[in-house]
Protein backbone atom coordinates (compact mmCIF):
# COMPACT_ATOMS: atom_id res chain seq x y z
CA UNK A 1 0.00 0.00 0.00
CA UNK A 2 1.41 3.38 -1.05
CA UNK A 3 0.38 6.49 0.85
CA UNK A 4 0.47 9.91 -0.81
CA UNK A 5 1.38 12.48 1.85
CA UNK A 6 0.15 15.92 0.80
CA UNK A 7 2.03 18.92 2.24
CA UNK A 8 2.08 22.67 1.62
CA UNK A 9 5.73 22.76 0.62
CA UNK A 10 8.66 20.39 0.75
CA UNK A 11 11.27 20.49 2.08
CA UNK A 12 10.77 23.27 4.63
CA UNK A 13 13.12 24.25 7.43
CA UNK A 14 10.21 25.38 9.60
CA UNK A 15 8.40 22.02 9.42
CA UNK A 16 10.88 19.58 10.91
CA UNK A 17 8.01 17.85 12.71
CA UNK A 18 6.57 16.73 9.37
CA UNK A 19 9.91 15.45 8.11
CA UNK A 20 10.60 13.50 11.30
CA UNK A 21 7.21 11.82 11.04
CA UNK A 22 7.70 10.93 7.37
CA UNK A 23 11.08 9.42 8.13
CA UNK A 24 9.69 7.37 11.01
CA UNK A 25 6.84 6.02 8.89
CA UNK A 26 9.23 5.24 6.06
CA UNK A 27 11.54 3.36 8.43
CA UNK A 28 8.51 1.44 9.69
CA UNK A 29 7.85 0.10 6.22
CA UNK A 30 5.26 2.53 4.86
CA UNK A 31 5.64 3.12 1.12
CA UNK A 32 5.36 6.88 0.64
CA UNK A 33 5.18 9.46 -2.11
CA UNK A 34 5.35 13.10 -1.00
CA UNK A 35 2.97 15.45 -2.81
CA UNK A 36 3.88 19.13 -2.46
CA UNK A 37 1.64 22.07 -3.36
CA UNK A 38 4.64 24.38 -3.57
CA UNK A 39 8.28 24.21 -4.51
CA UNK A 40 10.85 24.82 -1.75
CA UNK A 41 11.97 28.37 -0.97
CA UNK A 42 14.56 27.63 1.73
CA UNK A 43 18.16 27.53 0.55
CA UNK A 44 19.16 24.81 3.00
CA UNK A 45 17.67 21.51 4.20
CA UNK A 46 17.88 19.53 7.41
CA UNK A 47 19.76 16.20 7.55
CA UNK A 48 16.42 14.42 8.01
CA UNK A 49 15.34 15.62 4.56
CA UNK A 50 18.43 14.03 3.04
CA UNK A 51 17.65 10.70 4.72
CA UNK A 52 14.08 10.47 3.46
CA UNK A 53 13.95 8.25 0.37
CA UNK A 54 10.37 8.91 -0.75
CA UNK A 55 10.00 10.59 -4.15
CA UNK A 56 8.57 14.11 -4.23
CA UNK A 57 5.77 14.96 -6.65
CA UNK A 58 5.19 18.70 -7.21
CA UNK A 59 1.76 19.93 -8.25
CA UNK A 60 1.33 23.13 -10.30
CA UNK A 61 1.91 25.89 -7.76
CA UNK A 62 -0.13 28.29 -9.90
CA UNK A 63 -2.47 26.88 -12.53
CA UNK A 64 -1.72 29.59 -15.09
CA UNK A 65 1.96 28.62 -15.11
CA UNK A 66 1.18 25.06 -16.23
CA UNK A 67 -2.11 25.37 -18.18
CA UNK A 68 -1.49 22.39 -20.46
CA UNK A 69 -0.86 20.10 -17.52
CA UNK A 70 -4.08 21.22 -15.85
CA UNK A 71 -6.06 21.00 -19.11
CA UNK A 72 -4.83 17.46 -19.82
CA UNK A 73 -5.82 16.39 -16.32
CA UNK A 74 -9.30 17.91 -16.66
CA UNK A 75 -9.82 16.34 -20.08
CA UNK A 76 -9.13 12.90 -18.63
CA UNK A 77 -10.68 13.21 -15.19
CA UNK A 78 -14.00 14.74 -16.27
CA UNK A 79 -14.86 11.39 -17.89
CA UNK A 80 -14.46 9.47 -14.63
CA UNK A 81 -17.59 8.28 -12.76
CA UNK A 82 -16.63 10.18 -9.58
CA UNK A 83 -15.96 13.50 -11.31
CA UNK A 84 -19.53 14.77 -10.97
CA UNK A 85 -19.54 14.18 -7.22
CA UNK A 86 -16.14 15.84 -6.75
CA UNK A 87 -17.25 18.83 -8.80
CA UNK A 88 -20.42 19.21 -6.70
CA UNK A 89 -18.40 19.16 -3.47
CA UNK A 90 -15.96 21.73 -4.86
CA UNK A 91 -18.74 24.02 -6.15
CA UNK A 92 -20.41 23.86 -2.74
CA UNK A 93 -17.12 24.98 -1.17
CA UNK A 94 -16.58 27.64 -3.84
CA UNK A 95 -19.97 29.26 -3.21
CA UNK A 96 -18.93 29.85 0.40
CA UNK A 97 -15.31 30.68 -0.39
CA UNK A 98 -15.22 32.47 -3.73
CA UNK A 99 -11.44 32.83 -4.01
CA UNK A 100 -8.69 32.02 -6.48
CA UNK A 101 -7.20 29.80 -3.79
CA UNK A 102 -10.27 27.55 -3.88
CA UNK A 103 -10.06 27.31 -7.67
CA UNK A 104 -6.35 26.51 -7.51
CA UNK A 105 -6.93 23.67 -5.03
CA UNK A 106 -9.42 21.96 -7.32
CA UNK A 107 -7.05 22.33 -10.27
CA UNK A 108 -4.23 20.82 -8.21
CA UNK A 109 -6.53 17.97 -7.19
CA UNK A 110 -7.33 17.26 -10.85
CA UNK A 111 -3.61 16.99 -11.62
CA UNK A 112 -2.96 14.84 -8.56
CA UNK A 113 -5.84 12.47 -9.36
CA UNK A 114 -4.75 12.21 -13.01
CA UNK A 115 -1.00 11.75 -12.48
CA UNK A 116 -0.98 9.79 -9.21
CA UNK A 117 0.26 6.22 -9.58
CA UNK A 118 -2.28 3.42 -9.42
CA UNK A 119 -0.34 1.95 -6.50
CA UNK A 120 -1.51 4.80 -4.24
CA UNK A 121 -4.29 3.49 -2.03
CA UNK A 122 -4.80 6.38 0.39
CA UNK A 123 -4.00 10.04 0.89
CA UNK A 124 -2.79 11.75 4.06
CA UNK A 125 -2.63 15.53 4.35
CA UNK A 126 -0.64 17.66 6.77
CA UNK A 127 -2.83 20.62 7.79
CA UNK A 128 -6.62 20.74 7.56
CA UNK A 129 -6.80 23.76 5.27
CA UNK A 130 -5.39 23.82 1.71
CA UNK A 131 -3.49 20.47 1.68
CA UNK A 132 -6.60 18.72 3.00
CA UNK A 133 -8.76 20.40 0.36
CA UNK A 134 -6.53 19.00 -2.39
CA UNK A 135 -6.41 15.58 -0.73
CA UNK A 136 -10.19 15.54 -0.22
CA UNK A 137 -11.06 16.44 -3.82
CA UNK A 138 -8.49 13.97 -5.17
CA UNK A 139 -9.74 11.23 -2.87
CA UNK A 140 -13.27 11.67 -4.20
CA UNK A 141 -12.04 11.57 -7.78
CA UNK A 142 -9.98 8.43 -7.21
CA UNK A 143 -12.46 6.93 -4.71
CA UNK A 144 -9.77 6.49 -2.08
CA UNK A 145 -9.79 7.08 1.69
CA UNK A 146 -7.99 10.10 3.09
CA UNK A 147 -6.82 11.18 6.52
CA UNK A 148 -5.13 14.25 7.97
CA UNK A 149 -2.85 15.73 10.60
CA UNK A 150 -4.04 19.04 12.06
CA UNK A 151 -1.61 21.46 13.66
CA UNK A 152 -2.43 25.11 14.49
CA UNK A 153 -3.20 27.75 11.86
CA UNK A 154 -5.38 25.28 9.97
CA UNK A 155 -7.54 24.56 13.01
CA UNK A 156 -8.03 28.11 14.19
CA UNK A 157 -8.39 30.06 10.93
CA UNK A 158 -10.37 27.62 8.76
CA UNK A 159 -14.15 28.33 8.82
CA UNK A 160 -16.15 25.99 11.03
CA UNK A 161 -18.36 24.82 8.15
CA UNK A 162 -15.28 23.62 6.30
CA UNK A 163 -13.80 21.88 9.32
CA UNK A 164 -17.12 20.12 10.04
CA UNK A 165 -17.45 18.82 6.48
CA UNK A 166 -13.86 17.62 6.29
CA UNK A 167 -14.16 15.95 9.68
CA UNK A 168 -17.23 14.13 8.41
CA UNK A 169 -15.45 12.86 5.27
CA UNK A 170 -12.03 12.02 6.68
CA UNK A 171 -11.13 8.51 7.85
CA UNK A 172 -9.26 9.89 10.86
CA UNK A 173 -7.46 13.00 12.09
CA UNK A 174 -4.48 13.22 14.39
CA UNK A 175 -3.48 16.45 16.10
CA UNK A 176 -0.58 17.52 18.26
CA UNK A 177 -2.12 19.20 21.34
CA UNK A 178 -4.97 18.56 23.74
CA UNK A 179 -6.37 22.02 22.98
CA UNK A 180 -6.51 21.15 19.26
CA UNK A 181 -8.07 17.76 19.96
CA UNK A 182 -10.82 19.26 22.10
CA UNK A 183 -11.76 21.81 19.43
CA UNK A 184 -11.85 19.26 16.62
CA UNK A 185 -13.78 16.69 18.64
CA UNK A 186 -16.37 19.37 19.43
CA UNK A 187 -16.82 20.01 15.69
CA UNK A 188 -16.69 16.39 14.50
CA UNK A 189 -19.86 14.30 14.03
CA UNK A 190 -17.72 11.38 15.23
CA UNK A 191 -15.29 12.56 17.95
CA UNK A 192 -13.60 9.15 17.98
CA UNK A 193 -12.05 10.00 14.60
CA UNK A 194 -9.85 12.64 16.30
CA UNK A 195 -6.84 11.52 18.33
CA UNK A 196 -4.01 13.27 20.17
CA UNK A 197 -0.43 12.43 19.24
CA UNK A 198 2.27 14.88 20.28
CA UNK A 199 5.00 15.51 17.71
CA UNK A 200 7.64 14.64 20.24
CA UNK A 201 11.36 15.05 19.91
CA UNK A 202 14.33 12.80 19.26
CA UNK A 203 15.84 13.56 22.65
CA UNK A 204 18.98 11.53 21.90
CA UNK A 205 19.89 14.11 19.29
CA UNK A 206 20.00 16.81 21.95
CA UNK A 207 22.65 15.10 24.03
CA UNK A 208 24.16 17.40 26.65
CA UNK A 209 26.98 15.25 27.98
CA UNK A 210 30.02 17.44 28.53
CA UNK A 211 28.04 20.69 28.42
CA UNK A 212 28.78 22.99 31.33
CA UNK A 213 26.05 25.57 32.04
CA UNK A 214 27.44 29.08 32.20
CA UNK A 215 27.61 31.12 35.37
CA UNK A 216 26.94 34.40 33.56
CA UNK A 217 24.71 36.75 35.49
CA UNK A 218 24.68 39.78 33.28
CA UNK A 219 27.17 41.82 35.25
CA UNK A 220 29.89 41.92 32.56
CA UNK A 221 29.55 43.81 29.31
CA UNK A 222 32.27 41.61 27.82
CA UNK A 223 30.38 38.40 28.67
CA UNK A 224 26.64 39.05 28.30
CA UNK A 225 23.91 36.51 29.01
CA UNK A 226 22.74 34.99 25.71
CA UNK A 227 18.97 34.99 25.14
CA UNK A 228 17.81 32.82 22.24
CA UNK A 229 14.57 32.60 20.29
CA UNK A 230 13.74 30.46 17.27
CA UNK A 231 10.62 31.13 15.26
CA UNK A 232 9.14 32.72 12.16
CA UNK A 233 8.78 36.49 12.25
CA UNK A 234 4.99 36.49 12.05
CA UNK A 235 2.34 38.14 14.27
CA UNK A 236 1.44 35.05 16.31
CA UNK A 237 5.01 34.80 17.66
CA UNK A 238 4.71 38.16 19.45
CA UNK A 239 8.23 39.36 18.75
CA UNK A 240 7.18 43.00 19.00
CA UNK A 241 6.16 42.26 22.62
CA UNK A 242 9.52 40.62 23.25
CA UNK A 243 11.46 43.59 21.88
CA UNK A 244 9.45 45.93 24.08
CA UNK A 245 10.27 43.75 27.09
CA UNK A 246 13.97 43.60 26.24
CA UNK A 247 14.04 47.40 26.04
CA UNK A 248 12.73 47.58 29.62
CA UNK A 249 15.50 45.44 31.12
CA UNK A 250 17.66 47.31 33.64
CA UNK A 251 20.67 49.01 32.07
CA UNK A 252 22.86 47.28 34.64
CA UNK A 253 22.13 43.90 33.03
CA UNK A 254 24.20 42.89 30.03
CA UNK A 255 22.55 40.59 27.49
CA UNK A 256 22.58 39.62 23.84
CA UNK A 257 19.50 38.46 21.94
CA UNK A 258 19.94 35.90 19.14
CA UNK A 259 17.03 35.23 16.79
CA UNK A 260 16.86 32.34 14.31
CA UNK A 261 14.16 32.28 11.64
CA UNK A 262 12.85 34.20 8.65
CA UNK A 263 9.52 35.85 8.07
CA UNK A 264 7.66 38.85 6.66
CA UNK A 265 8.03 41.05 9.76
CA UNK A 266 11.84 41.20 9.65
CA UNK A 267 12.10 44.82 8.45
CA UNK A 268 9.42 46.05 10.82
CA UNK A 269 11.00 44.37 13.83
CA UNK A 270 14.53 45.54 13.05
CA UNK A 271 13.14 49.07 12.75
CA UNK A 272 11.36 48.66 16.09
CA UNK A 273 14.58 47.47 17.74
CA UNK A 274 16.41 50.47 16.31
CA UNK A 275 13.76 52.83 17.65
CA UNK A 276 14.01 51.24 21.09
CA UNK A 277 17.76 51.63 21.09
CA UNK A 278 18.51 47.92 21.47
CA UNK A 279 19.47 46.98 17.91
CA UNK A 280 23.13 46.77 18.94
CA UNK A 281 22.24 43.93 21.31
CA UNK A 282 20.51 41.79 18.67
CA UNK A 283 21.66 39.35 15.99
CA UNK A 284 19.04 38.40 13.39
CA UNK A 285 20.43 35.18 11.89
CA UNK A 286 17.58 34.28 9.53
CA UNK A 287 16.54 30.71 8.72
CA UNK A 288 19.15 28.12 9.64
CA UNK A 289 19.69 24.39 9.17
CA UNK A 290 18.98 22.14 12.14
CA UNK A 291 22.69 21.64 12.82
CA UNK A 292 23.23 25.39 13.12
CA UNK A 293 20.12 25.82 15.27
CA UNK A 294 21.35 23.11 17.62
CA UNK A 295 24.65 24.93 17.92
CA UNK A 296 22.78 28.10 18.96
CA UNK A 297 20.83 26.19 21.62
CA UNK A 298 24.10 24.95 23.10
CA UNK A 299 25.59 28.46 23.18
CA UNK A 300 22.57 30.12 24.82
CA UNK A 301 21.78 30.70 28.48
CA UNK A 302 18.00 30.90 28.23
CA UNK A 303 15.20 30.69 25.66
CA UNK A 304 12.19 32.92 25.08
CA UNK A 305 9.08 32.64 22.88
CA UNK A 306 6.29 35.17 23.45
CA UNK A 307 3.47 33.56 21.46
CA UNK A 308 0.00 35.08 21.23
CA UNK A 309 -3.20 34.76 19.20
CA UNK A 310 -3.01 36.82 16.01
CA UNK A 311 -5.90 39.02 14.88
CA UNK A 312 -6.98 36.44 12.30
CA UNK A 313 -7.11 33.71 14.98
CA UNK A 314 -3.80 32.11 14.01
CA UNK A 315 -1.84 30.72 16.94
CA UNK A 316 0.86 28.24 17.81
CA UNK A 317 0.08 24.65 18.67
CA UNK A 318 2.85 23.34 20.86
CA UNK A 319 6.04 24.86 19.43
CA UNK A 320 8.73 22.27 18.85
CA UNK A 321 11.38 24.89 19.56
CA UNK A 322 10.31 24.96 23.21
CA UNK A 323 10.81 21.20 23.40
CA UNK A 324 14.19 21.53 21.73
CA UNK A 325 15.31 24.29 24.07
CA UNK A 326 14.27 22.37 27.17
CA UNK A 327 15.85 19.17 25.89
CA UNK A 328 19.30 20.83 26.02
CA UNK A 329 18.61 22.23 29.47
CA UNK A 330 17.62 25.80 28.63
CA UNK A 331 15.14 27.49 30.95
CA UNK A 332 12.24 29.00 29.01
CA UNK A 333 10.14 32.13 29.27
CA UNK A 334 6.94 31.87 27.28
CA UNK A 335 3.20 32.58 27.39
CA UNK A 336 0.02 30.70 28.18
CA UNK A 337 -1.07 30.89 24.55
CA UNK A 338 -2.68 27.79 23.10
CA UNK A 339 -1.07 24.52 24.24
CA UNK A 340 2.21 25.86 25.67
CA UNK A 341 1.10 25.08 29.27
CA UNK A 342 0.95 21.42 28.20
CA UNK A 343 4.75 21.56 27.94
CA UNK A 344 6.02 24.19 30.39
CA UNK A 345 5.13 23.97 34.08
CA UNK A 346 5.13 27.55 35.36
CA UNK A 347 7.59 28.07 38.17
CA UNK A 348 9.02 24.53 37.83
CA UNK A 349 10.39 24.10 34.32
CA UNK A 350 10.16 27.73 33.20
CA UNK A 351 8.07 30.88 33.47
CA UNK A 352 4.74 31.56 31.76
CA UNK A 353 2.92 34.88 31.44
CA UNK A 354 -0.28 35.91 29.74
CA UNK A 355 0.14 36.78 26.05
CA UNK A 356 1.06 40.44 25.65
CA UNK A 357 2.25 40.85 29.26
CA UNK A 358 5.37 42.87 28.46
CA UNK A 359 6.13 43.68 32.10
CA UNK A 360 5.86 39.99 33.03
CA UNK A 361 8.20 38.99 30.22
CA UNK A 362 10.74 41.63 31.31
CA UNK A 363 10.50 40.62 34.97
CA UNK A 364 11.15 36.93 34.33
CA UNK A 365 13.92 37.60 31.83
CA UNK A 366 15.65 39.82 34.37
CA UNK A 367 15.23 37.14 37.04
CA UNK A 368 16.81 34.43 34.90
CA UNK A 369 19.57 36.67 33.54
CA UNK A 370 20.75 37.47 37.04
CA UNK A 371 20.33 34.03 38.61
CA UNK A 372 22.39 31.23 36.98
CA UNK A 373 21.41 28.80 39.75
CA UNK A 374 17.72 29.23 38.90
CA UNK A 375 18.52 28.81 35.21
CA UNK A 376 20.24 25.51 35.98
CA UNK A 377 17.33 24.37 38.19
CA UNK A 378 14.67 25.13 35.58
CA UNK A 379 16.82 23.79 32.76
CA UNK A 380 17.34 20.43 34.43
CA UNK A 381 13.67 20.10 35.39
CA UNK A 382 12.54 21.00 31.86
CA UNK A 383 14.96 18.51 30.34
CA UNK A 384 13.64 15.71 32.54
CA UNK A 385 10.03 16.66 31.74
CA UNK A 386 10.59 16.57 27.98
CA UNK A 387 12.40 13.25 28.14
CA UNK A 388 9.61 11.73 30.23
CA UNK A 389 6.63 13.01 28.24
CA UNK A 390 7.75 14.03 24.74
CA UNK A 391 10.25 11.44 23.53
CA UNK A 392 9.50 11.01 19.82
CA UNK A 393 10.13 7.26 19.97
CA UNK A 394 7.05 6.96 22.18
CA UNK A 395 4.96 9.73 20.61
CA UNK A 396 5.20 8.31 17.07
CA UNK A 397 3.65 5.04 18.20
CA UNK A 398 0.14 6.44 17.93
CA UNK A 399 0.76 7.58 14.35
CA UNK A 400 2.12 4.17 13.41
CA UNK A 401 -1.03 2.50 14.73
CA UNK A 402 -3.25 4.82 12.68
CA UNK A 403 -1.44 3.58 9.58
CA UNK A 404 -1.69 -0.03 10.69
CA UNK A 405 2.04 -0.31 11.32
CA UNK A 406 3.60 -2.20 14.17
CA UNK A 407 4.48 0.13 17.04
CA UNK A 408 8.22 0.31 17.59
CA UNK A 409 8.92 -1.29 14.23
CA UNK A 410 11.68 1.19 13.47
CA UNK A 411 13.80 3.75 15.15
CA UNK A 412 14.36 7.23 13.82
CA UNK A 413 16.79 10.10 13.81
CA UNK A 414 15.52 13.63 13.57
CA UNK A 415 18.71 15.62 13.07
Q: What's the pLDDT tens digit per position in 179-200?
A: 999 999 999 999 999 999 998 8
Compute the average pLDDT of residues 340-361.
96
Compute the average pLDDT of residues 101-128.
97
Q: What's the pLDDT tens digit per position in 281-326?
A: 999 999 998 889 999 999 999 999 999 999 998 888 889 899 999 9
Residue 208 has pLDDT above 90, yes or no: no
User: Residue 209's pLDDT is what?
Assistant: 65
In sequence order, which residues have a C-beta less than 8 Å from that of residue 223 and are 6 or more positions away? 216, 254
Q: Note whether 2-202+391-402 and 203-389 share their fold.
A: yes
User: Residue 291's pLDDT is what?
Assistant: 85
Residue 273 has pLDDT above 80, yes or no: yes
User: Residue 213's pLDDT is what?
Assistant: 83
pLDDT band at 407 (very low <50, low <70, confident <90, very high): low
User: Residue 414's pLDDT is what?
Assistant: 45
User: Residue 41's pLDDT is what?
Assistant: 87
Per-domain boundaries in the chain: 2-202+391-402, 203-389
Residue 31 has pLDDT above 80, yes or no: yes
Compute the average pLDDT of residues 129-135.
98
Residue 408 has pLDDT above 60, yes or no: no
pLDDT band at 210 (very low <50, low <70, confident <90, very high): low
Compute the average pLDDT of residues 240-252.
97
Mean of pLDDT over the chain: 93
Compute the average pLDDT of residues 336-354.
95
User: Residue 409's pLDDT is what?
Assistant: 44
Compute the average pLDDT of residues 264-275.
98
The rounded percent of the chain whose pLDDT value lies above 90 is: 84
CATH assignment of 2-202+391-402, among 3.40.50.1820, 3.40.50.880, 1.20.120.1730, 3.40.50.2000: 3.40.50.2000
User: Residue 61's pLDDT is what?
Assistant: 95
Compute the average pLDDT of residues 194-214.
82
User: Residue 203's pLDDT is what?
Assistant: 80
Residue 411 has pLDDT above 80, yes or no: no
The CATH fold assigned to 203-389 is: Rossmann fold (3.40.50)
User: Residue 201's pLDDT is what?
Assistant: 86
Residue 128 has pLDDT above 50, yes or no: yes
Q: What's the pLDDT tens digit per position in 98-113?
A: 999 999 999 999 999 9
User: Residue 232's pLDDT is what?
Assistant: 94
Residue 367 has pLDDT above 70, yes or no: yes
Compute the average pLDDT of residues 16-28.
93
Q: What's the pLDDT tens digit per position in 5-18?
A: 999 999 988 888 89
Residue 415 has pLDDT above 60, yes or no: no
Q: pTM (2 decimals)?
A: 0.82
User: Residue 395's pLDDT is what?
Assistant: 85
Amino acid sequence: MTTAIVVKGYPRLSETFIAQEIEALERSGLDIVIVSLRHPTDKDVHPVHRRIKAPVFYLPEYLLREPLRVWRAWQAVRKWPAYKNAKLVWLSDLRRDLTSNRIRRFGQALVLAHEMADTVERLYAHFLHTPSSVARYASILRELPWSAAAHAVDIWTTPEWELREKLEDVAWVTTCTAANRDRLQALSPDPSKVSLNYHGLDVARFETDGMIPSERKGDKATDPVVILSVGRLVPKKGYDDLLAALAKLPRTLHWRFIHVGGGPLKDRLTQQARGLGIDGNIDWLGAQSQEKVLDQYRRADLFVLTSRIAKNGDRDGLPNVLMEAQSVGLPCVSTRASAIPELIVDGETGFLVEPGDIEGIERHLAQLIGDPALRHQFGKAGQQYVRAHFDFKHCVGGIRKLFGLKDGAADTQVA
